[in-house]
Structure 1
Amino acid sequence: MTQPPHSTDPQTPTVPGAPGAVVQQRDCLLIRGDWVLAHYRRLKADIDRLQDQTSGQIHHGDLSGLGRIDTAGAALLAELLGAKALVRLSDNTPGLPRETCALLHAVATAMADRSAPHRPTIHPLIAALNITGQRTEQLYQLLTLLLGFIGQTLAALAYNLPRPKRWRVTSLVSAVQDTGLNALPIVALLTFLVGAVVAFLGATVLEDFGATIYTVNLVAFSFLREFGVLLAAILLAGRTASSFTAHIGAMKVNEELDAIRTLGLSPIELLVLPRVLAMMISLPILTFVGMISGMIGGAAVCALVLDISPGQFLAILERDIALKHLLVGLGKAPVFAFLIAVIGCLEGFKVSGSAQSVGEHTTSSVVQSIFMVILLDSTAALFFMEMGW
């Protein structure tokens, strides 16, 4: 209940120019003082507090003590009493100035016309199905946009490859250095450590069966077919796809893409193709380095823990591991590289023009790239298993 000092008694006359106030007397609200914009914040807080206390059960009102009022105050009264009740009170209050009545009528009519329609309660199952449908539609739109952008990229690539004069050699070499050479140390270190972990786990499990010698086969198969290309692709998805999105997104925020189009140049030819080709060159190289580093990590564990010498490790590799496993791993690298680069560039073009949008699409490019890499890798693993490759 809000009751200012000057209106402790509801029957006390209103002091001219006094701030507006609401006094609750049983089920009746006494409106006192000036309801103008200068007092809007305090009056709004009092009304919210009063509505919480009364749970919206207001039956009567008294406007006899109302002083000056403007549009802001009239809107508050319409919110407090209701549009219809405000019109009725203004007509039934003796001594209320004609201008005040006209203002209250106008504001109440306007607020009654734009009152929000009643929303029926939605069953939780229907709401869940609605959300599922929305997510499915968003996924469909995302895949459609991605396929369209892939088509544009392939069309530009097919147009530029037979025309060496249009090649962006400098941009390609710079992108290869950024995506491949600079990422080489972290890929080699990570795969070395993962190879050591895989060898430790394999030795722990196989030791119970007296078959620790097959730790060599486990490390070789896992890195040649899966871990080498998968770890390198995930690292590039987090490191390079985000870089592509942030770079192109910043160019769009700065309106550099519009300037490129104004000069008659194609952003896909200028920005996308060098990055896509650089990724398709870098990822197979990083995959091969990851395979070798992972097997070196496994060989180190075999030599230190299992007493399998490096010479014996290489002899088992030569005897038991076929060349097709290396080709399977390397064959997936260009496909992963193409998708990672295309997704990173597409998210950069989707930036809407603010720093927050750049951050959101950078995060989205990393998530989408990693998801697509893992999805395609699992699909390829099932396909190769059924084909016996």
Structure 2
Amino acid sequence: MPDPADFSLKRAADRATAVLTGDWTAIALGPSGRGLAEAMQGARDVELDLTGVDQIDTAGAYAVLRAAGGDIAPGRIRARDETLRLLELVGNALKVERAPPPRKPPSFEQFTIRVGKAVTEMAADAWDTVIFAGHLLAVSWLSLIHPKRIRWAACVALAERAGLDAIPIVATTSFFIGAVVGLLGANMLRQFGAEVFSVELIGIAVLREFNIIITAVLLAGRSASAFAAEIGSMKMNQEIDAMKVMGVDPFEALVFPRFFALLVTMPLLTFVATLAGLFGGMVVTWSVLGLGPAFFLQRIIDNVGGTHFLVGLSKAPVMAVVIAGIGCRQGLEVGNDVESLGRRVTAAVVHAIFAIIVIDAIFALIYMKADI
């Protein structure tokens, strides 16, 4: 069994001496290292006598150096030659050259640096987006020329998961949106005695805007995040690198099926959202204004027509391409850590919703200029 480390502080007329005994090793050190440091903290010019130490390792040497404040001058420490060499070795390892603190630039300079970095990142992101879009267009063109290259099983499975499984949430949300629009329209138009025009308000709002907006936003939070998480986890596990090694294009195996699935299911979900929104508005007008379903549908057919529905439906393919593209691109940008995966999934949802709002505004301006 090793002898526990111990020390005693002997005071002479001119200076004090700390005499160390026992084994100053990691196993036998115990509280002696801390006690030695506390004992030597208040005393000045304390010598260290290590001649009585049986064994010492790097842990014991570190404790002695910490107590001595890193001062291992030959006149201060008495020990065997091998002990002095160990102390010198540990002391050299602890000497880390501290670089001067970096100069903190002025506030205006910091602002310009941040602006420059943001502009550079935006330019790099735009360039990566162009590369992604070009690769996706090339794969899509090759798939159209050679349909046998399309992975139909993956496309059907993704269409079911991203489209059919989203019907309940899309229908429920659109139903309540249509009901809210009908209720607000009825309350506001009642002041002018024009409650009957709430039917046209519901029809135009649901057929032209709310059906595609609600569907796109729900798919942005549901499908874009799922695409980014799925592809990102494969990127983290180096499955995409393995696919490249085997000669499989990740765009053809992963991106195109998701792109195709949303492109097919988005118009279907928009149609479902339209029916649910009109049904919600009809329930409100029937219960609040006493306008029956036959009257409601007749006014929709006569005064609203199918133009507004076609306007809303024309946005569906563009929204599908943008949502699928953003989700897949963010997934391919995931690094090798979980934090990167979380950032990219969040970015996929935020970017998709932002793109939906911008695209809808662009469509509104185009149709307004075209008087449609």
TM-score by length of 2: 0.78
Supply the distance in 1 between the matched residues of 2:66 and 2:298 (Cα, whole angstroms): 85
Q: Quick one: distance in 1 between partners of 2:184 and 2:66? A: 68
Correspondence for 1:376 among 350, 356, 359: 359
Instruction: Please point out which of 181, 189, 197 is paired with 1:214.
Output: 197
Q: Which moved more, 1:313-322 or 1:195-204?
A: 313-322
Where 1:16 maps in the other structure, the secondary structure is strand
What are the superposed Cα offsets for residues 137-185 of structure 1, whole Å, 9 maximum, x if unpaired? 4343333322211110111111221223323333322222222222112
Inter-CA distance 358–103: structure 2 relative to 1 (3 Å threshold): same
Does residue 140 of structure 1 match 2:123?
A: yes
Deviations 1:348-368 (A, max 9, x none): 333445666555543432333
CA gap of 1:70–1:388, structure 2 versus 1, over 3 A, is farther
Q: How far has the Cα of 1:80 moved from its partner?
A: 8.6
Q: What value does the CA root-mean-square deviation take over the aligned residues?
A: 3.9
CA displacement at 1:237 relative to structure 2? 1.7
Distance 1:210 1:248, change over 3 A: same
User: One-letter code of the match for 2:160?
Assistant: Q
1:193-231 deviations in whole A, cap 9, x for unaligned?
Answer: 111112222223333343333322322222222211111
**SS, match of residue 291 in structure 2:** coil
Contact 1:90 1:101 in 2 (8 A): no
Q: For residue 152 of structure 1, what is the aligned residue in structure 2?
A: 135
C-alpha distance in 2, partners of 1:383/1:40? 80
In structure 1, distance between residues paired with 2:32 and 2:232: 46
The offset of 1:338, in angstroms, is 0.8
Count of aligned residue pairs for this structure pair = 359
SS in 1 for 2:185: helix
Distance 1:80 1:363 in 2: 51
Query: Aligned residue for 2:3?
Result: none
- The 3 A distance-change label for structure 1 pair 42 and 363 is farther
Question: Which residue of structure 2 lines up, in the alignment, with residue 16 of structure 1?
Answer: 21
Match of 2:159 among 176, 179, 188: 176
Partner of 1:90: 73
Are residues 369 and 43 of structure 1, via their aligned partners in 2, closer, same or farther at CA, if it must alter by over 3 Å?
Answer: farther
1:61–1:81: 8 Å Cα contact kept in structure 2?
A: no
**Paired amino acid for 1:279:** L
How far apart, in 2, do the equivalents of 1:344 and 1:373 lie?
A: 13
Distance verdict in 2 for CA 1:98–1:206, change over 3 Å: farther
2:47 and 2:117 map into 1 onto residues whose CA distance is: 49
Q: Which residue of 2 aligns with 1:22?
A: none
Equivalences for 1:180-219 in 2 at 5 Å? 180-219=163-202
Contact 2:215 2:269 in 1 (8 A): yes
Distance 2:225 2:173 in 1: 19
User: Relative to structure 1, is the Cα distance of residues 64 and 244 closer, same or farther in structure 2, using a 3 angstrom cutoff?
Assistant: same
Write the distance in 2 (CA, Å) between the matches of 1:118 and 1:304: 72
1:111 and 1:285, CA in 2 relative to 1: closer, same or farther beyond 3 A? Answer: same
1:3-51 CA-to-partner distances (Å, cap 9, x unmatched) read xx97799847434138xxxxxxxxxxxxxxx5x656999799999x99x
Amino acid across the alignment from 2:21 = P
- Secondary structure of the 1:183 match is helix
Structure 2: tracts of 5 or more residues without a match: 1-5
Query: Aligned partners of 1:348 and 1:43: how far apart in 2?
Result: 55
| Greater Cα offset, 370-379 or 155-164 | 370-379
**Percent identity among equivalent residues?**
35
SS of the equivalent of 1:152 reads: helix
Match of 1:341 in 2: 324
Ranges in structure 1 where 5+ consecutive residues have no aligned partner: 19-33
1:246 is matched with which residue?
229
Residue number among 259, 282, 285 corresponding to 1:302 in the alignment: 285
1:64 to 48, 56, 60: 48
CA distance in 1, matches of 2:182, 2:116: 45
Q: TM-score, normalised to structure 1's length?
A: 0.75
